[in-house]
Structure 1
Amino acid sequence: METKKITLLYTSDVHGYILPTNYSDHQERALGLAKLATVIKQKRKHDAIILLDNGDLIQGSPFTFYHAKYHSDRPNPMVKVANEMGYTSSVFGNHEFNYGLDYLRSVIEQADFPWLSATVVNKEDNEPAFGKPYLMKEVDGIKIAILGVTTHYIPNWEDPKNIPNLAFVDAVEATKEWVAHIKKEEQPDVCIVSYHGGFERDLETGEPTEPLTGENQGYRMCHEVEGIDILLTGHQHRSIATELNGVTVVQPSNNAQLLGEVSMTLTKESGSWKMTDSKPNLLEVDASIEADQTIVNLVQDLEHKTQEWLDTPIGQMDGDMSITDPLTVRLKEHPFVEFVNKVQMDVANVTISNTALFNNDSPGFPKNVTMRDIVSNYVYPNTLKVVRITGKDIKDALEKSATYFVIDKDGEVAVNPAYMNPKPQHYNYDMWEGIEYELKISNPIGDRVASLNYQGAPINDEQEYDVVMNNYRAGGGGNFTMFQGKPVVKDIPTDMTELIANYIIKQKMIKVSNNSNWKVIK
């Protein structure tokens, strides 16, 4: 009986990381496409390879931010590298749209490979917006179908001006339709669904791991869509290599720290090929793996310019704005959080603001501030919106943020495990300026706002207030549904990193302050 072996390699959520650095300092890190390229070249020497990307490729690092903001007329560095590495296809991730459609179209035009998605469609005709949703690829005589699918939750996060005339259809329904079409019309030997989305339920128990909003639908796909052999996932930045309901599933973390791998064995039966075995695996990038010099050379010039930009001094802090314990920052107001909120309030000319400490790696600001310090703390390409909401909306938002905490077995306030697994979501806990409040975590969920005042008096549930927040939150991102559909009275389209930098440059010396307008208690 004749057999063949094919190795599927794939990346997801690379987020603009090519060189082995996270840009917070000059230390080498075990990540980046340059290191993965070394692994992939070794694999190609021995195996028949197909290399795919699963989305969120072009955005997410200071390197790609610098290109998009200052050198967008130059060839896209992520596409240059992906072309050199020999990708077969990529899927649109939600962050592909962050820099607008003109930027994205230039990326598509420069790519030597197709970008796929069955769920990103034109509003007027519901047809795939950027060409075919799937690709047929023959490898060593084996017919492989690759269907691209993007989480349809994008309108809940993305600035509408970045996705004009686009619609995003239900990922499960689109996958059902297109897998059935592919099976009938193409009769592939292997059907791969590359889904920029993750899992909404525990893979073993089936219990929900998040609100079932439709953001992640991988569990449903494995149980409801017939004909999928391999489901490649992403978006959640998890590390997964397993099988679910007979479907091989993989997810390779983020920032090119891992390379997803599926080793396929195909057997010829009655004149046709059938996949008889598939082994999922995650290949780790460690310190022993050297960055591929060809890849490094492709981006060296832009990398040098990025590093110079990051090390440009822009102002000073008069006082301590460093962060040593992120939990403490979230329990009682910290000067850094107050500063970010004050920047937002100053730019928007309003008296109420909210923001988040996005992750546990934020170092705060040193005495002498550079662009590197700003992008190390403010890691997302957010813009600002001023939303008109009621006092009840503010209270509801605080109650939602209060679910970030639990009382642990020692009787102390701790982070709710739901905000840590399946992926960290520290960015979904907001801290406010311009109001005074106290959250009491020993109270039942939904009744944790122990006090809430505005300008010395209790907030009026019916009164309207103008609040500045980032565009992700203003659209209801993080399941802050109380903000969805509310009037946007001002749109500030400048990236927050630029707003922070401009504020510091203008002030030159920032007086560090902390008015302690809120706190979290047991």
Structure 2
Amino acid sequence: MDNSNKTDISLLVTSDIHGYIYPTNYSDHDDRNFGLAKLSTLIKQKRQKDNLLLLDNGDLIQGSPLTFYHAKYQSTTANPLIKVANELGYLASVFGNHEFNYGQEYLQNVINQSEFPWLSANIVNQNDGKPAFGKPYIIHKVKNISIAILGITTHYIPNWEDPKHIKGLVFQDALESTKGWVKHIHENEQPDVVVVSYHGGFERDIQSGEPTEELTGENQGYQICMEVEGIDVLVTGHQHRALANKINGVTIVQPSNNGQLLGQVDIEVEKRKNECVKRINCSLIEIDDSVKVDKQVVDLVKEYEEATQVWLDKPIGKINGDMTISNPFSIRLQDNPLIEFINKIQMDIANVDISNTSLFNNTSPGFKSNVTMRDIVSNYIYPNTLKVIRISGSDIKQALEQSASYFIINADGQIDVNSAFINPKPQHYNYDMWEGIEYELKITNPIGERVTKLNYQGEPIDYNQDYHVVMNNYRAGGGGNFKMYQGKPVVQDIPTDMTELIANYILNRKTIEATCNHNWKVVR
């Protein structure tokens, strides 16, 4: 290349930061190699090079105790994540699905405080069909090079989110929106480089093209690479994967979650008389022990962090008995005090006698004898609310079969976790355990035929009868391929966060007895 006509551009990418600034694990105070305070050190080092752009791909403002505490108790103050993002000089951010978890008023405050635009071309107003939050894309000039950055958000959000939080919004198909907007950008802007920043992931194996999940439309990254012409770079997220590769000539990058990795896309552009020659490479930079914390970022949010830590250490009550977790897999094989406790809380609050819940991930510690808010947010990591929906006995059977697909029989003849619930993204939260019914799952039976016992109040459940069941709002909307729940009547909507409900339940009773009635089990 003739260096006189060549422009080098570095695009740094973050995604799924989920409210992590300090490199601290909130459940045990241990330091971790993640968070914006460490990323900032790396970003500022790289800013010494010319032509560096910084882009966030969504799920920035939700996901840690820091963000939960701010949303619930400090929402009238400046948002700590936005204070840091402004300091880092982001060029733009894309809306992720979790941006909507605290409602549109909270989100609008975030947008107003941001010194950078928020992008999403496919989230539109219900009344006029125009992009709901302003800019669908931006055009950024680097010397004589024009870069278009288009924001796209997974359109599957209505399947999870509280309807009140997305009232008046329409989530258009991500793939079709990308096609239309990329065409529009090429025709009207004639950019030299097109970057699509998509808060969504890949529905197929990036090498073989084989489906890796049920093709619901939640993730369409592979289709976008294969079907949309004129994209140079596809930034992805949502699945929390570490990816830096190419699909069909499109450079793809996905930098994991919580600020563990920094994505870097290096773009060389040479403008010739009749063409624009581009060389694009991508990489992932790991945040390790050698990367120190940026004190300036730490100081920016010190008061927020200290208030959160005080709140986390607030005593709530006591547990008599054992609700700790030593083996998360065993928790999912037979009834246990922790899951029974969460289900009992849900049934008590909703005043119904059937409930389901999950052990969300394999790092949940359970409850020790002395319970604090830290213990609660360490176990219940999502800002879920509760819904009671009316479903039939047949729906309950189908839901249990869906949960039973979590298991397989491995080569040693033992019960194991189905790889579909681990790769490409761990989805342990999509296996439910129930209270109020008695059931048995036999894993040597074929998938779809594993429920060998299903009773309600001591008698076989009536498949034609309707039952009121309480569950979290994500599941009640059909999230996790529980399609049997979609469109079912909502009998009761309980809008308070489950962490608050758990805390209040323990505070009111002061001492909780760990009980286990062994109403279900998984057998070989």
Describe the SS at the equivalent of 1:149.
strand
Corresponding residue of 1:148:
151
- Tell me how far 1:46 sits from its aligned partner: 2.3
1:257-315 CA-to-partner distances (Å, cap 9, x unmatched) read 1001101111121176x352111100110112111111101100010000000011110
Pair 1:294 & 2:302 matched: no
Corresponding residue of 1:19:
22
Pair 1:470 & 2:472 matched: yes
- Tell me how far 1:141 sits from its aligned partner: 2.8
Q: Write the distance in 2 (CA, Å) between the matches of 1:63 and 1:131.
A: 28
Corresponding residue of 2:189:
186
Corresponding residue of 2:371:
369
Pair 1:129 & 2:132 matched: yes
User: Deviation above 6 Å: which 4+ runs of structure 1?
Assistant: none
Corresponding residue of 1:76:
79
Q: Write the distance in 2 (CA, Å) between the matches of 1:257 and 1:290.
A: 13
Describe the SS at the equivalent of 1:69.
helix
Q: Write the distance in 1 (CA, Å) between the matches of 2:298 and 2:406.
A: 41
Question: Aligned runs of 1:48-447 on 2, under 5 Å?
Answer: 48-270=51-273, 274-447=276-449
Corresponding residue of 2:522:
520
1:503 alignment partner, one of 494, 502, 505: 505
1:482 alignment partner, one of 481, 484, 489: 484
TM-score by length of 1: 0.99
Q: Write the distance in 1 (CA, Å) between the matches of 2:202 and 2:522.
A: 31
The answer to whether the 8 A contact 1:189-1:275 is kept is no
Q: Write the distance in 2 (CA, Å) between the matches of 1:426 and 1:62.
A: 21
The answer to whether the 8 A contact 1:190-1:275 is kept is no
In structure 1, stretches of 5+ residues that fail to align are none
The answer to whether the 8 A contact 1:234-1:251 is kept is yes
Question: Given residue 384 of structure 2, which amino acid in structure 1 is its aligned partner?
Answer: N
Describe the SS at the equivalent of 2:502.
helix
Describe the SS at the equivalent of 2:16.
coil
Question: Given residue 489 of structure 1, which amino acid in structure 2 is its aligned partner?
Answer: V
- Tell me how far 1:466 sits from its aligned partner: 0.4
- Tell me how far 1:371 sits from its aligned partner: 0.3
Question: Given residue 518 of structure 1, which amino acid in structure 2 is its aligned partner?
Answer: W
Paired residues in the alignment total: 521
Q: Write the distance in 2 (CA, Å) between the matches of 1:301 and 1:132.
A: 33
Q: Write the distance in 1 (CA, Å) between the matches of 2:50 and 2:512.
A: 57
Q: Which moved more, 1:2-11 or 1:358-367?
A: 2-11
- Change in Cα spacing, 1:275 to 1:77, as seen in structure 2 (3 Å) is farther
Describe the SS at the equivalent of 1:45.
coil
Q: Write the distance in 2 (CA, Å) between the matches of 1:344 and 1:119.
A: 35
Describe the SS at the equivalent of 1:4.
strand
Question: Given residue 156 of structure 1, which amino acid in structure 2 is its aligned partner?
Answer: N
The answer to whether the 8 A contact 1:263-1:280 is kept is yes
1:449-483 CA-to-partner distances (Å, cap 9, x unmatched) read 00000010000001110000000000000010000
- Tell me how far 1:140 sits from its aligned partner: 3.0
The answer to whether the 8 A contact 1:200-1:212 is kept is yes
- Tell me how far 1:24 sits from its aligned partner: 0.7
Q: Write the distance in 1 (CA, Å) between the matches of 2:37 and 2:106.
A: 23
Q: Write the distance in 2 (CA, Å) between the matches of 1:196 and 1:35.
A: 23
TM-score by length of 2: 0.99
Q: Write the distance in 1 (CA, Å) between the matches of 2:176 and 2:513.
A: 54
Question: Given residue 360 of structure 1, which amino acid in structure 2 is its aligned partner?
Answer: N
| Residue identity (%) | 66
Q: Write the distance in 2 (CA, Å) between the matches of 1:141 and 1:367.
A: 64
Question: Given residue 469 of structure 2, which amino acid in structure 1 is its aligned partner?
Answer: V
Corresponding residue of 1:37:
40
- Tell me how far 1:26 sits from its aligned partner: 1.4
- Tell me how far 1:521 sits from its aligned partner: 0.4
1:152-204 CA-to-partner distances (Å, cap 9, x unmatched) read 00000001000000000000110010001101111111000000000000011
Q: Write the distance in 1 (CA, Å) between the matches of 2:289 and 2:103.
A: 36
